[in-house]
Chains A and B, each alone.
Chain A
Amino acid sequence: MSDAYDGGAVSSTAAEAHGTVDAETGGILLEASNLSKVFGGLVAVNDVTFRVPHRGIVSLIGPNGAGKTTFFNCMTGLYRPTTGRVMFDGKDITAKRPDLVTRAGVARTFQNIKLFRTMTAIENVQVGMHARLRSRVTGMVLRTPYVRREEREAREKARELLRFVGLKRHDELAMSLPYGDQRRLEIARALGSDPKLLLLDEPTAGMNPQESEELRKLMETLRSERGISVLLIEHDMKVVMNVSDHITVLDHGEKIAEGSPKEVRENPRVVEAYLGSQA
């Protein structure tokens, strides 16, 4: 219980810090309004409205099958939402192609790690930078000074990102990295596209408590040093309660609660969704 209390304390300071920044930058980075996704007869996401403020760390939680990942996929263009609208940074990104969403500044990781397994760690990050590199085919063939410089800078930046997430083995193939490092590499790869918003889909799955704690710190550094907002899907409640300044709870595709970690934790509907009805 004391754990949870500490968590509440941390998050409330985070929320205060974020509140002041919020006032400076004036508000919402991403807004999904009335988003629904229907597969055949199954309503996976039902009329969900959701906001991510500038420099915010917000979480999306809910029992298995609640529609969290579907919601993610709708926002990143992997699914075309059935209804609803997604605005990001003043632009409408509803049903845009995934690469255009990334170009706009939303990067993501995957619940089931989707690295380019036979590429090295550094190459993975370089692919993540694809949208930010500008060399053209003729330039690549002629290897113009511009392309040379861009490639050199890309490699340097990739190394810097790998150091940032705490990955030491830069030239190792992604598939031969340990599980925790693969998770880190996914984050570094996502950061390669210079996102304004990072979507993390269960980043601590399979991590031990120490690794989870490191990841929590990483998320806070992302916000404080790089000004990147984080949207988190997570099952590890300790991480969620500690890091988030706002939590949204989904169940059966519907938003059943939202608010600060404290509010959410005390919300009877949330307790019911997770533990079942007491009656």
Chain B
Amino acid sequence: MSTVAATLRTNATNLTRLLPRWAWGIGFLALALLYPSILDQLLASPDDLLDASIQTLAYIIMALGLNIVVGFAGLLDLGYVAFFAIGAFVMGWLGSQQFPNVSGGHGIHILTPIKSAFGSDLPGIHINFFLVIFIAAAFTAIWGVILGAPTLRLRGDYLAIVTLAFGEIVPRVFENSTSGIFGIGHTNFSNGRQGITPIDKINLPWTNETFKYPLELKPVYYVGLGMVLLVVFFNRRLRDSRLGRAWIAVREDEVAAAAMGVNLVRTKLWAYAIGAALGGFAGVFLATYNNTVNVDQFEFGFSVFILSMVIIGGMGNIWGVILGAVALSLFNRYGLKQLNGVPDKIGLHFDLTAVNYGIFGFFLLVMMVLRPEGFIPSGRRKLELHESEIDESDHIGTESDHQLYEVRQG
């Protein structure tokens, strides 16, 4: 078993060494750029797969955001869906007719078409998508700090439970904000369970021509791809920086990191803020792409879905996380359908898609047994998980002595 794995690993390493690093990067980039055209050539009706791919791009952004919190800084966050929700609602507020009475019913328009198809003024706030993504990222970053701050003293299981609760609270707050938010005012922020719909389509800032998805998917694919590339760039730069080192130091040993001059509060809050910002970033994209912002989207299961991408792909490794996101997203869309006949055949009558999170859980278990470091692990994670195989000798109290220190963060 382990020899097979070892052979596979050496083969994979040889394969990656076949070409220099930049060549791989350019190759993947070219593939991503040509992808819609390739689909056109290969498939009679490419739209379904292209649609799945566009959703996947958004999941990649979220998985990369969660990877900063979980993979780099080591803070287990089970409520990541909260930031998807906040980002999506920002798009709902700033790009729909949700607030029809602003500026006397004439609406606010920033770099978006002013007139509706019928020639009358569009009511509501309409801000260009490319501005909203950054507004939403900043707004969710602030909420990342607000929700992260109370959890700073927690570790491991306790942190997971509190973040899980936040992931549940945030969608409920939106759901109940039909007459003011937090009991302030009487504005309808969410339409309750109905959600906000329709959402403005993306338009380039210099034209009034909006994109025509879901009829025409290519332009929105390229917007999504551009966002992914920006996020990958951002992640790589941060990983190799002073902050990236501090994240890993905090993950490894909080006490030592603090004693080396790392401000634990600031370092962790940056992880929360940037992770949250990327969740909001993707949330805006999904809101306009799905044409709706609906609290039903923001379930606990979604947090687990994204977390599974991070874990299965390889925590802490950017390419691994991307692979995990692609694999799980496409499996969720196509793999489950393939398996759907299986329960009937063996005489069980239930809908397999209804237990899809159970299936992800099963995958997680299988991964934990066979390859706990994920498909493409970060070098560090792999070492951590296989440490016992490498040396067991001088492992002197790295975990157990945590309670000996009352590391103060306030």
Contact = CB atoms under 8 A, between A and B. Distances in A.
B262 A116 contact: no
Interface string B229-258: 000001001100111111011001101111
Nearest to A154: B242
A112 B390 CA distance: 20
B246 A76 contact: no
Contact of B261 (A73, A112, A130, A147): A130
Interface string A214-248: 00000000000000000000000000000000000
B211 to A, nearest CB: 28
Given A108-B259, A141-B234, A78 B406 contact: yes
Contacts of A203: none
A116 B248 contact: yes
Contact of A127 (B245, B255, B387): B245
Contact of A119 (B241, B248, B397, B406): B248
A interface residue count range (under 10 / 10 to 19 / 20 to 34 / 35 or more)? 35 or more
Given A78-B405, A97-B408, A140 B260 contact: no
Q: Counting chain B CB atoms within 10 Å of each CB, which of A97, A119, A176, A189 scores highest?
A: A97
B159 to A, nearest CB: 20
Given A114-B255, A140-B241, A176 B384 contact: no
A195 to B, nearest CB: 10
A98 B401 contact: no
B394 interface: yes
Contacts of B241: 135, 140, 147, 151
A115 B405 contact: no
B194 interface: no
A222 B202 CA distance: 62
Contacts of A140: 237-238, 241-244
A118 B252 contact: yes
Contact of B259 (A76, A135, A141, A175): A76
A110 B404 CA distance: 13
A127 B260 contact: yes
16 contacts: A80-B406, A97-B258, A107-B259, A116-B252, A118-B380, A119-B245, A119-B249, A127-B257, A128-B260, A130-B242, A131-B261, A131-B262, A132-B261, A141-B238, A147-B241, A151-B241
B72 interface: no
Contacts, number: 132
Q: Counting chain B CB atoms within 10 Å of each CB, which of A97, A98, A192 scores highest?
A: A98
A143 B262 CA distance: 21
Interface in A175-202: 175-176, 179, 182, 189-190, 192-193
A99 interface: yes
Interface residues of B, number: 42
B261 A99 contact: yes
A126 interface: yes
B256 A114 contact: yes
A77 interface: yes
A114 B261 CA distance: 14
Contact of A116 (B234, B249, B401, B408): B249
A180 to B, nearest CB: 11
Contacts of A137: 238, 243, 270
A59 interface: no
Contacts of A189: 260
Contacts of B258: 77-78, 97-99
Given A78-B258, A117-B398, A175-B383, 15 more contacts: A77-B258, A79-B406, A97-B263, A97-B409, A99-B259, A102-B261, A116-B252, A118-B384, A127-B245, A130-B245, A131-B260, A131-B262, A137-B243, A137-B270, A140-B243
Contacts of A128: 260-261
A273 interface: no
Contacts of A116: 248-249, 252-253, 256-257
A99 B261 CA distance: 4
A43 B263 CA distance: 30
A79 B255 CA distance: 11
Given A78-B259, A102-B259, A112 B242 contact: no
B138 interface: no
Contacts of B359: none
Q: Counting chain A CB atoms within 10 Å of each CB, which of B238, B390, B391, B408 scores highest?
A: B408
A99 B264 CA distance: 8
Contacts of A102: 259-261
B67 to A, nearest CB: 16
Interface string A77-98: 1111000000000000000011
A104 B257 CA distance: 16
A113 B255 CA distance: 12
A176 B263 CA distance: 27
